Amino acid sequence: VRWPRDRPGRRPVIFLALGLIISGCAVLGDGDGDPATGPEPFRPAFHFTPERNWMNDPNGPLYLDGRWHLFYQYNPEGDQWGVISWGHAVSDDLLHWDEQGVAIPAEDDLMIFSGSAVVDRADTSGLCDAAERCVVALYTGYRVEPAAPERAVQTQDLAYSTDGGDTWAQYAGNPVVDLDAPDFRDPNVTWHEPSQRWVMAVALPIERQVLFYGSADLRNWEPLSSFGPLGATDGIWECPVLLELPVDGDPDDTRWVLKVDHNPGHVTGGSGAQYFVGHFDGERFEVEGPDDGPRWLDHGPDFYCAMQFSGEPADDGRRTWIAWMSNWDYAADVPTGPWRGAMTLPQVVGLTRTDDTVRLVQHPLPGIDALRGEHRRVEGDPTTVADALATGDPAGDSFEANLRVEVGDADEVALRVRVGDDEETLVGYDASAGVVFLDRTRSGDVGFHPSFPGRYTAPLSADDGVVELRVFVDRSSVEVYDARGLAVITALIFPDPASEGIGLHTAGGPSGPIELDLWPLRDTR
């Protein structure tokens, strides 16, 4: 069975056998707290986490009638991967979430792996009896009998909802795509307007391929083409996403993006994502532009299996997606509890033309501004700014920092965030290397896994010698975006809750003037 062998920290078959013991341990809890008994210092203020238990990839994110729905890989029985079902949460603004409980539960010999959901207003599937709030989910059924794990298969299955995603029924004709393959997963479905049909992108992980299928009714799927191996091929491929996006906001100038996650082999070492830009003619995806090696999506370690919200009102064609904020290397070991697994900040994605090619850009959800508290501005030469931060109020444990710096003669200019006794996280610009960087080697608890501590970099040339960064700090994460959305780094951190200090770090000669805007961000829970 390839699936369990390839997955560090995850042993479905053993889990099924030991399920009771493991969930028993989860109830006792060994993480950062329990609502009933104590504080939870790592519980994010403005990132989604389930109240308790294990979560990984986002699944079937969708927008319908003013509400955002997020489904996710969820183990209702414990704080480790296993008994995987689809959890469900809803939100009016993508920041305040109400957890709804399990939407699609695992069954005896079936786990509900990753997939997507589409709003099927025209009832193309014929399953919704013309119900207006028809939602169809395509997901991977992981079928394994504990007695015969060597016969485990992954098939593409369908579930549907006539009430906008609140309650679900399994399709009686499942599976809808079956290659009798042990590794074949993560269908992502999108409507292809020119050919008036649904298109599914789905991964053959071991082969490092994405297969495309087409369908008029979401139930009968015909093979169209395959893509790959290409780019980053060291690790298995998972969670493909096929999306049409505008270049520089022009809806008449679009390209298709194919995003594929891989594990391991990311630029940071463990799991991560790459993307390709090109054309999709309804059958085949062709890459455009120079073969300049793998294009990493997020240059940090903790951004996996992003998926777009379907049904989103697309004013300018840009799209919103969200990812799992963790890494398969150490996801099972992060020191949180009674929950394990968080989502990233939702991002708005589009494309931009750079000197030589068209690239993906990622921006933080604009609505995050609504969480800002009292504004504080610090500006001046580096010494003035460093002094003001050293003598001023701490920044707290959840805040936004916008940093604008004229690089000047500096080799490095960075913010020191979540600063405490003997710990800090650095996030800033390394001019000597031409990279944005995030350093969590001294960020607090880094010892729970050997691959956790690290310094991560994303290439960025300083236009006119100026760098502008937006930094989002939460109780257990840091996300940094450059102003154009080309250099993005997402990383978990586990600092002491009392480490609320902020400071300036510089190396080399003096930088030019610095402008720093700070806002505490309100807790959304």
Residues annotated as part of the active site: 57
Cα 176 to Cα 51, 73, 130, 334, distances in angstroms: 33, 20, 21, 36
Q: In angstroms, give the least distance from the CB of 202 to ligand FRU.
A: 10
Omega prior to 338 cis, within 30 of 0: yes
Pick between residue 57 and residue 439 the one whose CB is nearest to ligand FRU. 57
- What distance in Å separates the CA atoms of residue 201 and residue 426, rounded to the nearest whole number? 38
Handedness of CA 439, 441, 443, 448 (dihedral sign): positive
CA distance linking residue 258 with residue 477, whole number of Å: 27
- Look at residues 306, 329, 321 and name the one whose alpha carbon lies nearest to residue 492: 329
Number of residues counted as binding ligand FRU (CB under 6 A): 13
Residue closer to ligand FRU (CB basis): 137 or 405: 137
Nearer to ligand FRU by Cβ, of 44 and 235: the residue is 235
Instruction: Decide: is 242 part of the binding site for ligand FRU (CB under 6 A).
Output: no
Q: Which residues pair with 169 in a beta bridge?
A: 160
Subset of 123-142 contacting ligand FRU (CB under 6 A): 140
Q: How far is the CB of 57 from ligand FRU (least distance, A)?
A: 5
Write the interaction track for ligand FRU spanning residues 436-475; mark x where CB under 6 A is met and - where it is not: ----------------------------------------
In the complex, least distance from residue 510 CB atom to ligand FRU, rounded to whole angstroms: 45
- Out of 305, 345, 348, 471, the only residue in the binding site for ligand FRU (CB under 6 A) is 305
The residue within the footprint of ligand FRU, chosen from 186, 397, 474, 482 (CB under 6 A), is: 186
Burial of 287 (0-12, 13-18, 19+ CB in 10 A): middle
CA 369 to CA 366: how far, in whole Å?
A: 6
**Site membership for ligand FRU, residue 185 (CB under 6 A):** yes
CB 46, min distance to ligand FRU, A: 23
Minimum CB–partner distance for residue 140 and ligand FRU (Å): 5
In which element (H, E) is residue 308 found? strand 304-308
Around Cβ 476, how many Cβ atoms within 10 Å? Answer: 31
**Which one, 240 or 408, has the nearer CB to ligand FRU?**
240
Per-residue binder mask for ligand FRU (CB under 6 A), 86-125, x = binder: ---------------------------xx-----------
3-state class (DSSP) for residue 216: coil
Answer for which of 106, 152, 211, 239 binds ligand FRU (CB under 6 A) is 239
**Shortest distance in whole angstroms from residue 347 CB to ligand FRU:** 18
Given the complex with ligand FRU, which of 263 and 524 has the nearer CB atom?
Answer: 263
CB of 449 to ligand FRU, least distance (A): 17
Q: Which residues make Cβ contacts (< 8 Å) with residue 450, sequence separation at least 6? A: none
238 contributes a contact to ligand FRU by CB under 6 A: yes
- Whose Cβ is closer to ligand FRU: residue 90's or residue 206's? 206
Are the C-beta atoms of 227 and 285 separated by less than 8 Å? Answer: yes
303 vs 452 by CB, closer to ligand FRU: 303
Using the rule CB under 6 A, which residue among 53, 73, 268, 362 binds ligand FRU? Answer: 73
* Residues 53, 77 contacting (CB under 8 angstroms): yes
Is residue 157 a contact point for ligand FRU (CB under 6 A)?
no
102, two tokens:
């399990």
Per DSSP bridges, beta strands 435-439 and 423-430 are antiparallel
| CB-nearer residue toward ligand FRU: 83 or 386 | 83
Long-range contacts of 273-278, Cβ-Cβ distance < 8 Å, separation of 24 or more: 273/239, 273/297, 273/298, 273/303, 273/304, 273/305, 273/306, 273/323, 274/231, 274/232, 275/360, 276/230, 276/231, 277/351, 277/357, 277/358, 277/359, 277/360
Mask: binding to ligand FRU, 32-71, rule CB under 6 A, as x and -? ------------------------xx--------------
CB of 451 to ligand FRU, least distance (A): 17
From candidates 55, 64, 83, 84, binder to ligand FRU by CB under 6 A: 84
Phi-psi region of 369 (alpha: psi -120 to 50; beta: other; left: phi over 0): alpha
d(CA 286, CA 100): 40
Do 88 and 69 form a contact (C-beta atoms < 8 A)?
A: yes
First to last CA, the chain: 41
> Given the rule CB under 6 A, which residues bind ligand FRU?
56-57, 73, 84, 113-114, 140, 185-186, 238-239, 304-305
